Structure 1
């Protein structure tokens, strides 16, 4: 039995319960990785780093390397910035032998850039890295690491900047700044591919980032004791991989040298600007996520994104699907109708009994028979779509993940929709070569075009990105066509495909086709380990609980960070009878601009009373905030750390949301950064929730009283002085 299937024994499960099991598995692997990172030390240099001989230059930034590849000089505006006298730059760490070797090799200058090439004969690796500044003066490091032994290998590529970190500010997310001491074991960032160390010698900030279109398993972490700020990329190398990935992994990351005190939000704003296409919003309307026809909801006017399939499984044609699922109601209301699809698994359901072991499961697959199921979705007995049972089995044969040679990953489970079932995680990459049929080719070439033939369909919904992306695939035939580098599982340390990245390849292809047709892409299961999947979506969704949301502000900040202006939607099934929790949920929703709603789990669903009450009070304001667009740089701050501040809208007309998370009333003094908002300094203001107009004149220095656990939404206009 696979490790994951053991987590899932014990009775019928919902979509959310499977998701929770997967998160537990992912969390344990992340913890193991964190221990590995913190417990390691690099080899100390025999001699101190040398003088800067090779310079990478831009208009106002410079980085200098010595002849061994050490980072020995940083400059901003021609001002030297402090560094620690430590070995630094590129290194390789072998997770199997725990050996770490610094990369030296040959350094050469090349038109403002520096190229480093090295063969590490003792480890059997070669490396090339090109260091250059981009137009916005961010240092980009672009290169590859390759195996030269012809064997399967796993390797961590690390780039370190030598820093004295005592007293600096570690900022891995919007909500978790932390002052470091020399004895700290700082938490790593392995979810959002950007993190910053600030106030380095009171001279500058440094931020590492990874481009949103270069998925990789990564860790960003300061090491105060080892005096290093590092990014680590985790690769698997195999001769079974194809093309540029044969025994090789390309990499790309960036280092942003910023003014002291600039902070993570400033770095994040620059990150968005470097990747405008990824973070551009393609929706014209905002609202809640619905998984039933509009008539099921008490306040349908607040819903904007319809995940179809609630009644679609009863249909045998697109016309019947459209009638059953209420697509015409969506069309009349201007709601996005997003056709349900599931590409990460295929299952056999309604078995007489649950198979007891692997062999019994494979026998059940051979013997299983069922009629065609043209439209999958949440409500039918089978969520998969297929034209006949032989096609369904062939897709499993061609796309199933392998846990070992010729042994399929599978999950034996009992679910509310399928009863006794065996579920096979699938590789949904469109790049599986000559294999046919595959789930990607069936979806992209047959099923999705069939759905889009309806004028009512505005795009596609992809389900369960977290649950089925959580597996590692050791099927060597699949290595040959991967577009994203291989990686490895912490407890196996062998090259593998991470199925999250195989989903990524599918999402890229689907999004390109949808955007060409003026359609959008919505995906569910965007957990904390699925940021790169989230970057590929137009609408980001996840199923959560009140407990996971209300006690986890970093999770909410994570969704806002990866979405930027895109809609971030949460589905919470249970707990709406607890009015205090509903009230707190709405305050966080207004602060970070996300939409949380309940969802039908059966035909008797009625919108919870508390949900309707708070929708009537707050939903119109939330829709305005989302339409204005969240901004990473607030431009307005307070001295009270309990009072959260977020801005939605541009610098001359915007909404400022204040939420006092502290235990007592706070008289907040607003401090304005006029380089970000209100350049003239003068403003008028309206309290949106009380509809009170306040002509404040000069906003900076004005005071606002915020009670404990109170949320205030201020609409602010710049006025001419």
Structure 2
């Protein structure tokens, strides 16, 4: 009787666990695993055999797979509304091994399956096609050259990271008319990954990893995580994102209280009537003084104005000014007699090696140095690195002095510029690595390496956790396509070029919005701020730039055409031209950003090139829609809002907050229908108002 009761309770508990993710549970039991080794003996995947029956427990299922080189354990842990897969890969060999591990969740329904590509793109799946949203993943070719290259070697610049591609988003999704399936990575585990769908195989997650014996935290093994969840199929990718946010509340927690624009370096009180501009985040240094605030440290001056101060740091490389740009690697770059003792001591333990064992040493154009050029040597800034002085010196020289002045946060510059994509072949660094190693198929014989981003993530994570315990913040600049730091930083920035359309195209801005959720996103315009669209009446550049940022709830600002000299905020002629535009747009962005971006808009239009976003959940607490016209012509737009889904049955007014005009609307079949005209490259902010 006791055995029967125990078995009944286990079944009851398991059924309760499964009930919220029922469709995935049916798929999980048929999971398949394949692996491709590098260099491959054959250009085919090796299917791993399941060598142990399913093991059921109160918390989920464990599956084991094996071939002649690897053992793999898949531990499926069931939570109330999703399943977490923890994968551990054991190397049977006593030598290094590089491979792509492919986890296949069979789902081969042929009818009415949609690949949810991104926020606004959904594709009906066809047989014999593979569906993915990928970006090229390579190390960065130095535009100014490098010292560790030769006629025989490219120094690793431009090499593939893994097989050369990674997913653009941290999740993937497919939908049927009745159910949506989502699968995604854990943002706390930086790894080279791909998520895609093949109708002949199913939903797939791939990881490019290598295994070595030196990694003390996971010797001769590697690991990964996948989150499996179900979502509302009607809203496709947007619904998948909403579920992902609910699963990962800690990663997407909003800590910023006051929002506004980003001020780079210029002391706040030197800007006349700075209150007009909506400053909230000041990138500065602890030893900077504000001459217009009793010559006190800018950190203290910022506090008097209620502006967050952030201590600048860029620990990813060491830059040494140089006059000769044609110096030889051995004589001019790694020469102990030329480098200062402190720099040499830092580099001795923190420098990363290229695939040939040389220091990763770029030639860098640096307007912030009088020489105009520097050698940029990539470093590993991880606080875990044994005997490394790099992290400690950054603490002593930058972070700790700022904390003594009670700075509000730490600012990480150039998060994804040159150095983060470098592959680190310095085996001394393998010992303290926290995250899976990878490789490059650009090498004829791929060998293990650390994706330098994962080492930098270790540093940012360490600082972020420390700041959060103290009620402080962290900020990052230079977002590219790595999503992981979104889970540890509190706001994100990037510098943009007015003339490069891809800097602010829909694809990129939607990515920023998606990985930040409701955290602030701030931008600086550099190249192009001297353009006549910003310097000559009617200053149409301001309207276009600010309208686009308002559409996504982002905060626009300016810096310098070369990211150094003649900054915008030190030129009163420039900022006085912009003043009226800041006064017009920034309060609106603050309003909608405070209400909070919501992935599911419950609003639609048949008009192409119209982007709709929703901010807020209810009229009582503020409910707003931004309607942005991407096209080069004015558009008359009919918008349908699902009033029943948002409980909008008693709306009495829809107000355009920019023009102040009321928008006419009517109710029909539990929908709210409105018609409006939107100018080219312009935006409307609609506030829905009820009697209360």
Q: TM-score range by the shorter chain?
A: 0.7 to 0.9
Partner residue of 1:474? 425
TM-score norm. by structure 2 comes to 0.82
Instruction: Measure the CA separation in 2 of the matches of 1:552 and 1:288.
Output: 20
| Contact kept? 1:176, 1:554, Cα under 8 Å | no
SS of equivalent residue, structure 2 residue 19: coil
Measure how far apart 1:343 and its partner are: 1.0
Aligned 8 A contact 1:643 1:661 in 2 = yes
Q: 2:348, 2:102 → 1: CA distance?
A: 38
Cα deviation per residue 1:431-473 (whole Å; 9 max; x = unaligned)?
112x142x22333466422211113x21111111112212111
- Any conservation in 1 of the 2:595–2:616 contact (CA below 8 Å)? yes
1:93 match: 36
Q: CA 1:659/1:629 → structure 2, altered by over 3 Å: closer, same or farther?
A: same
Distance 1:700 1:719 in 2: 18
Query: Corresponding residue for 1:690?
Result: 659
State whether residues 706 and 712 of structure 1, in contact with CA within 8 Å, keep that contact through their aligned partners in structure 2: no
| CA RMSD across the alignment | 3.0
Residue from 327, 335, 341 that aligns with 2:313: 341
* Structure 2 spans left out of the alignment, 5+ residues: 1-13, 135-166, 534-538
**Who is 1:427 aligned against?**
380
2:392 equivalent in structure 1: 441
Residues 232 and 240, structure 2, Cα contact 8 Å, conserved in 1: no
Tell me the equivalent position of 1:275.
Answer: 248
**Deviation at 1:337?**
1.0
Say whether the 8 Å CA contact 1:625–1:655 is kept in structure 2: yes
Specify the SS of the correspondent of 1:276: coil
Q: Does 1:257 align with 2:230?
A: yes
User: Structure 1 residues 65 and 254, CA, compared in 2 at 3 Å: closer, same or farther?
Assistant: closer
Q: Which residue of 2 aligns with 1:416?
A: 367
Are 1:353 and 2:343 counterparts? no
Q: Is the 8 A contact 1:115 1:131 kept in 2?
A: yes
> Pick from 158, 165, 168: which aligns with 1:191?
168
Counterpart in 2 of 1:362?
333
- Deviations 1:341-400, CA, capped at 9 Å, x for gaps: 121011221x3422433212335553234xxxxxxxxxxxxxxxxxxxx33321111101
Q: CA deviation at 1:234?
A: 1.6
- Give the structure 2 partner of residue 717 of structure 1: 689
Q: Following TM superposition, by how much is the alpha carbon of 1:516 offset from its aligned partner in structure 2, in angstroms?
A: 1.7
What is the aligned partner in structure 2 of residue 233 from structure 1?
207
CA distance in 2, matches of 1:146, 1:210: 20
SS of the residue corresponding to residue 158 of structure 1 reads strand
Aligned in 2, Cα 1:319/1:696: closer, same or farther, shift over 3 Å? closer
TM-score w.r.t. the length of structure 1 is 0.79
Aligned pairs for 1:207-222 within 5 A:
207-222=182-197
Aligned match of 1:602: 565
Does structure 1 conserve the Cα–Cα contact (< 8 Å) formed by 2:605 and 2:637?
Answer: no
Does the Cα contact within 8 Å between 1:665 and 1:707 map onto a contact in 2? yes
Please list the CA deviations of residues 171-195 of structure 1 after superposition, one character each: whole Å capped at 9, or x if unmatched. Answer: 2321433333335453434132112
- Structure 1 692/63 Cα, relative in aligned 2: closer, same or farther at 3 Å? closer
Q: Partners in 2 of 1:460 and 1:142 — Cα distance?
A: 32
Query: Judging changes above 3 Å, is the alpha-carbon distance between structure 1 residues 490 and 612 closer, same or farther for their aligned structure 2 residues?
Result: farther
The residue aligned with 1:460 is 410
The alpha carbon displacement at 1:99 in A equals 3.9
Q: Where does residue 536 of structure 1 map in the other structure? A: 488
Of 705, 708, 711 in structure 1, the residue corresponding to residue 676 of structure 2 is 705
Q: 1:526 to 1:65 in 2, by over 3 A?
A: closer
1:672 aligns with 642
Match 1:306 to one of 282, 287, 292: 282
3-state SS of the aligned residue for 1:591?
helix
Partner of 2:83: 139
Residue pairs, 1:519-534, within 5 angstroms: 519-528=472-481, 530-534=482-486
Mapped to 1, the partners of 2:94 and 2:220 lie a distance apart of 7
User: Residue 163 of structure 2 corresponds to which residue in structure 1?
Assistant: none
Distance in 2, Cα, partners of 1:640 & 1:707: 11
Aligned length in residues? 613
Secondary structure at the residue paired with 2:337?
helix
2:261 is matched with which residue? Answer: 288
In the alignment, the residues of structure 2 paired with residue 531 and residue 275 of structure 1 have an alpha-carbon distance, to the nearest angstrom, of 13
- The answer (yes or no) to whether the contact 2:663–2:676 under 8 Å persists in 1 is no
**CA positional deviation for 1:280:** 1.0
Q: Residues 656 and 150 (structure 1 numbering): CA distance in 2 closer, same or farther, change over 3 Å?
A: same
- Alpha-carbon distance between aligned partners in 2 of 1:153 and 1:134, rounded to the nearest angstrom: 34
Distance 1:681 1:254, change over 3 A: farther
1:556: Cα distance to partner? 0.4
* Deviations, residues 615-643 of structure 1 (Å, cap 9, x unaligned): 23212111111222111121333333432
- Distance between the aligned counterparts of 1:609 and 1:410, measured in 2? 42
Task: Tell whether the 8 Å contact from 1:361 to 1:422 is kept in structure 2 after alignment.
Answer: no
| Aligned CA distance change for structure 1 residues 357 and 180 (closer, same or farther; 3 Å) | farther
Distance 2:293 2:679 in 1: 49
C-alpha spacing 1:551/1:603, structure 2 compared with 1 (3 Å): closer
CA distance in 1, matches of 2:133, 2:246: 25
What's the CA shift for 1:312?
4.8
2: CA distance, partners of 1:63 / 1:164:
13
- Shift in CA distance, 475/279, structure 1 to aligned 2, threshold 3 Å: same
Match of 1:659 among 616, 624, 628: 628
